[in-house]
Copies of this chain bind each other. A is one copy, B any other.
Amino acid sequence: VAELTGTTPRTIRYYEELGLIGSAERRQGKHRSYREADVQRLAEIVRLRDLLGLSLEQLSQLVEAEAARAELRREYHASEEPAQRRQILEQALGHIDTQLELVHSRREEIKQLERELSDRRDLVTRRLSELGRR
């Protein structure tokens, strides 16, 4: 599971200790056992940590909010009231938009960095071709 998610066993145990992920079930013996869904969730956490640089506390809050939204989704499926369904959907939309803004601004920053490097590259190649022409 560590390999699949791009981390180490120690990190997974640490996240379990913090409550960032649920305690894994143990097989006969003491080995932790994970389902596919657990792997997905962990991979997503690692991804947000690495790409956005979120702290484990921020990730905890995000996971908590995610759990609250999962609870809402159950109510959503149970409910027939359009007014309530609308409210739940709008809350989900707000949550997604918050994340999108964060990710988008990150991407802009990286893009800017890439542009600057690209410009320097062009400068060097220009000088090289000038050298060649003499």
Contacts and interface: CB of A to CB of B under 8 A. Distances in A.
Contacts of A128: 86, 89-90, 93
A100 B127 contact: no
A110 interface: yes
Interface stretch (A9-17, A31-39, A56-64, A113-121): A113-121
A131 B99 contact: no
Contacts of A90: 128
Interface string A25-46: 0000000000000000000000
Interface string A94-130: 0011011001101101110110011011001101100
Interface of A: 47, 50-51, 53, 82, 85-86, 89-90, 92-93, 96-97, 99-100, 103-104, 106-107, 109-111, 113-114, 117-118, 120-121, 124-125, 127-128, 131, 134
The 8 residue pairs across chains A and B that have the minimum distance between CB atoms: A107-B110, A103-B114, A96-B121, A89-B128, A93-B124, A100-B117, A92-B124, A86-B131
